[in-house]
Amino acid sequence: MKKKYLLAPGPTPVPESALLAMAAPIIHHRTPQFSEIFKEAAELLKYVFQTKQDVLILAASGTGAMEGSITNLFSPGDEVIIVNGGKFGERWGKISEAYGLKAHWLTVEWGKAVNPADVKKILDSNPSIKAVMVQASETSTTAAHPVKELAALTKEKNCLLIVDGITAVGVFDLPMDDWGIDVLVSGSQKAFMLPPGLAFAALSEKAWKFQETAKCPRFYFDFKKERKNLKDNTTAYTPAVTLIIGLLEALKMIKAETLQGVFARHDRLARAARAASKALNLKLLAPESPSNATTGVFVPDGVDGGKLVKYLRDEVGVTMAGGQDHLKGKILRIAHLGYVDTFDMIIAIAAIEMALSKFGHKVELGKGVAAAQQILLEGYK
């Protein structure tokens, strides 16, 4: 027997209580029974997004919320800044250009955070720019961008800050209303502890005003239509009923732990992963601005990262993630978001030590685990 452990940055493990809730017989989505579940979930989403605004619930992956944020708020020819610091920053630009927007690409080295001064420079020299699009946590590079500082740049302008929080919401503090984030999107398969299939989008009143004049084509991802239906505790089109039932259970778990408790747990796990990596002399991918969602490390010289990930998954039973594009085969990404706690990290670090040893890299077994344990002990009284 080989027990499997899922420690990739999405999908993430699903709690037993959510699995059981989703295993109940399906109910019809146009009934008072489902509307009650939907209403409670929609209200709890506001708590997690830290907003008074409606949080739209879409049957889609997170990319659906990204695309909807563009088609609902802009017209062909509108100018936007794309913070391109990884695969998902690149995605903002690709979607924008697909709908005829003029993208000002701000390229950031993978593993680095964007410098707000560089964004300000582009904004100051291009007053017609209507949005800055950025990731709070760039999953492909494990770096976190300075969302609060970026929000300060757009808050008083006729310009929106649109944030991909797919691996950030429910991981670290991202107070939408307090900071002045205009659009915040996320997805179910990350810190929301569910299978893929739900996307979430919250818009500020400033963003909703942009929607009134936007001319990009849209049909399924029509935010105005979804907002109207949300008032009636339903969706415009058939919702992912089972996932929403599971969402309510997951949101109740987050509320019981409290947001501050959730943030503290993720911070502790992330620091443990980074401490273990340093103890094992594994170079961090994002040492200056690491995300608390995922820790990226370069694999040692002489070790094939692709084969290492495959060995961890197929032989050790621990699924992590490798690198993309020019980082393919060069890095390992250890996820610590969602339904993950102390001993998941012990397993992750121990698995890496054992796998590296099998690949011929000299490892002092237990050294990384010990470094992680020193930090993980903080979680116990």
Structural domain boundaries in the chain? 5-11+258-379, 16-256
In this model, does residue 278 exceed pLDDT 90?
Answer: yes
Look up residue 282 and give its two tokens: 């594994």
Class of CATH domain 16-256: alpha beta
Question: How far is Cα 63 from Cα 197, in angstroms, rounded to an integer?
Answer: 11
User: pLDDT by residue (tens digit) across 2-25?
Assistant: 899 999 999 999 999 999 999 999
pLDDT at 330 over 90: yes
- pLDDT for 53 equals 98
Does this model's pTM top 0.85? My answer is yes
Residue 102 has pLDDT above 90, yes or no: yes
Q: What mean pLDDT comes out for the span 295-311?
A: 96
Q: Once rounded to an integer, what is the mean pLDDT over residues 95-101?
A: 98
> Within 13 Å of residue 212, how many CA atoms lie on the same side as its CB?
5
Share of the chain above pLDDT 70, in %: 100
User: Which residues 6+ apart lie within 8 Å of 185 measured at CB?
Assistant: 62, 65, 66, 69, 162, 163, 164, 165, 166, 199, 200, 201, 202
Per-residue pLDDT band for 143 (boundaries 50, 70, 90) equals very high
Does the structure show a pLDDT above 90 at 205?
A: yes
If one counts every other C-beta atom within 10 angstroms of the C-beta of residue 127, the result is: 10
pLDDT tens digits along 80-97: 999 999 999 999 999 999
Predicted local distance difference test score (pLDDT) of residue 1: 85
Hey, what are 208's tokens? 């909703």
Contact 100, 239 (CB under 8 A): no
Average pLDDT over every residue of 307-320: 97
| Mean pLDDT on 62-78 | 98
Which pLDDT score, from 0 to 100, does residue 138 have?
97
Other beta carbons within 10 angstroms of residue 66's beta carbon come to 26
| The CATH number of domain 5-11+258-379 is 2.60.120.10 | no
Residues linked to residue 160 through DSSP beta bridges, in sequence order? 131
What was the pLDDT predicted at 255? 98
Average pLDDT over the chain reads: 97
Residue 241's pLDDT is 98
Tens digits of per-residue pLDDT, 355-365?
Answer: 999 999 999 99
**The pLDDT of residue 107:** 97
Mean pLDDT score, 185-205: 98
pLDDT of residue 186: 98
Q: Residues near 127 by Cβ (< 8 Å), separated by ≥ 6?
A: none
According to DSSP, residue 226 is labeled H
Residue 381: per-residue pLDDT: 80
